[in-house]
């Protein structure tokens, strides 16, 4: 009886353990199922408001005739090969109209967009409709509508279109302010022309700055985005648009795991301005900046690298009027910390034009507050629009440099005023280690303006031994700060 009772007890314990494990497994599976999102309803609710955008552009192919010394050979009449040569090179090698014109043909491109209100406003990327002669918006119900351009903003790669139609489905606009890395997102678009294709993934990073874009803090995702997805919406799990798919990082032309979307808050600010005035205005300081690395931070007397160091100040700009100086490190703008230099253009761009802004800078190791009245960012065209003195030679062996004075013609051409000496030779030493090259123009050394070789010599002598100091050089038309380690 004891053995039977013992077996029953063991069996009872095994059964209890099995039931407990089964319950835990079921709970775990249920939990996992709750965590994996189901996108089917999101697609049903939102795909109708996503549109395919096709554009047509007329281009004139210009003929340049046969290469010099060559003629179209004598080919039998009606030969298709002869017709090909005449069409491509022109009659008698001169082009179809004497070499000044050519055949007109059409090119087409595809992209995506989405409807933001029932009156027919459609949002897409500027690069999708740029230079288009005709824009066709195709809806999920097979309607094809001609669109007119309300306005474009190349700096944010945004375009606002308008179509005339009724019963238009619209998306729900969300906010990009509270999005988080790791959050699930969904894209709908027309990759390679395949309408209403869905791809999903997560947010990989936020506030991402790209070299080609200064005014957009991109959302980075791992959602599969390919040619044709541009301009399409990026949804969160609540079915709200939080971004506009704009760019991919690729070495092949196709998706490689990195895609970038314009935050919807930035996009809707652009849309509002395009609706009301047909263009976008942004704030402007009038400075050229550079990021601060560890060596530069040390040379500026900072505890850690952060901020944007001022390389150049535009004449008569808000920054000049506010008392900015070359070498200032901007670490805060209107209460917002400037951690990377790329944070500053975004913050300034969104600042109200004509209003005052409070800017915190580090100047010669000390904090200073500047108040600047924000001006409107000039156009790209306005921004880019913007005697034989015998040079005296001087060698400065301490840094390994040979410098010369600039002549009057060089100063005028480079718009340097009274500053600068030109580097003629660099030998092994601190200057070469810092990256200074022959032809560079030294504008500042250790936060002091360089006026001529003699004064430069005195500045070099006064440099603190064993310390890193900043040197401002101009290479071509671009100034840049470099940290240089002074020898013991």
Catalytic residue positions, numbered: 127, 157, 230
Closest CA relative to residue 232, chosen from 46, 55, 107:
46
CA 448 to chain centre: 33
| Dihedral over Cα of 319, 323, 325, 329: its sign | negative
Taking Cα atoms as reference points, which of 426, 388, 421 lies closest to residue 407?
388
Question: What spatial distance separates the first Cα and last Cα of the chain, rounded to whole Å?
Answer: 94
Cβ-in-10-Å burial (0-12, 13-18, 19+) of 217 comes to buried
C-alpha 328/C-alpha 237 separation (Å) is 44
For the beta carbon of residue 145, count every other beta carbon within 10 angstroms: 18
Query: Based on C-alpha coordinates, what's the Rg of the chain?
Result: 32
Sequence-ordered list of residues with C-beta below 8 angstroms from that of 132, at least 6 positions apart, any chain? 55, 56, 57, 109
Tokens (6 digits) for 280: 């976008």
Lookup: tokens for 428:
């092994």
CB 224 within 8 A of CB 199: yes
SS3 25: helix
Residue ranges of E strands in 349-418: 356-363, 366-373, 375-376, 393-396, 401-405
What number of other Cβ atoms are within 10 A of residue 468's Cβ?
A: 21
SS3 content of the chain, % helix, strand, coil (to 5): 25, 35, 40
Whole-angstrom distance, CA of residue 254 vs CA of residue 250: 6
Measured in residues, the chain has a length of 488
* The residue to which tokens 């009659």 are assigned: 91
């Amino acid at each position: 009886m004891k053995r039977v009772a013992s077996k029953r007890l063991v069996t009872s314990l095994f059964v209890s353990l099995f039931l407990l494990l089964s319950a835990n497994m079921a709970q775990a599976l249920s939990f996992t199922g709750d965590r994996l999102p189901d996108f089917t309803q999101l697609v049903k609710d939102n795909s109708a408001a996503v549109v395919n955008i096709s554009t047509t552009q007329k281009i004139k192919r210009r003929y340049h005739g046969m290469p010099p010394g060559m003629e179209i050979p004598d080919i039998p009449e009606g030969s298709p090969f002869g017709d090909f040569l005449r069409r491509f090179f022109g009659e008698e090698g001169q082009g179809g109209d004497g070499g000044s014109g050519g055949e007109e043909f059409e090119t087409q491109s595809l992209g995506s967009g989405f409807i933001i209100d029932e009156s027919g406003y459609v949002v897409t990327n500027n690069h999708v409709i740029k230079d288009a002669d005709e824009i066709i918006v195709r809806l999920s119900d097979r309607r094809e509508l001609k669109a007119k351009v309300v306005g474009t903003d190349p700096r944010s790669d945004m375009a606002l279109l308008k179509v005339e139609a009724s019963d238009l489905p619209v998306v729900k606009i969300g906010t990009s302010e509270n999005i988080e890395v790791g959050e699930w997102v969904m894209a709908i678009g027309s990759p390679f022309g395949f309408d209403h294709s869905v791809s999903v993934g997560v947010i990989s990073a936020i506030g991402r700055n790209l070299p080609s874009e200064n005014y957009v803090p991109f959302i980075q995702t791992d959602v599969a985005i390919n040619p044709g997805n541009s301009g399409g919406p990026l949804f969160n799990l609540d079915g709200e648009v939080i971004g506009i798919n704009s760019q991919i990082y690729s070495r092949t032309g196709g998706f490689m795991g990195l895609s970038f979307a314009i935050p919807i808050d930035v996009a809707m600010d652009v849309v509002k301005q395009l609706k009301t005035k047909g263009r976008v205005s942004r704030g402007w300081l009038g400075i050229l900046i550079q990021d601060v690395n560890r060596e530069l931070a040390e040379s500026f007397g900072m505890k850690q690298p952060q901020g944007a160091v001022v390389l150049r100040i535009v004449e008569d700009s808000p920054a000049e009027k506010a008392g900015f100086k070359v070498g200032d490190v901007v670490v805060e703008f209107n209460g917002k910390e400037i951690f990377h230099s790329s944070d500053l253009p975004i913050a300034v761009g969104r600042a109200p034009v004509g209003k005052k802004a409070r800017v915190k800078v580090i100047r010669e190791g000390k904090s200073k507050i500047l108040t600047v009245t924000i001006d409107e960012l000039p156009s790209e065209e306005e921004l880019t629009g913007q005697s034989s003195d015998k040079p005296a030679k001087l060698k400065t062996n301490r840094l390994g440099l040979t410098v010369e004075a600039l002549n009057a013609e060089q100063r005028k051409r480079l718009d340097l005023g009274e500053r600068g000496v030109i580097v003629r030779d660099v030998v092994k030493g601190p200057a070469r280690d810092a990256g200074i090259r022959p032809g560079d123009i030294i504008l500042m050394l250790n936060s002091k303006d360089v006026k001529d070789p003699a004064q430069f010599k005195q500045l070099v002598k006064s440099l603190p031994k064993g310390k890193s100091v900043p040197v401002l050089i101009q290479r071509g038309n671009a100034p840049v700060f470099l940290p240089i380690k002074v020898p013991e």
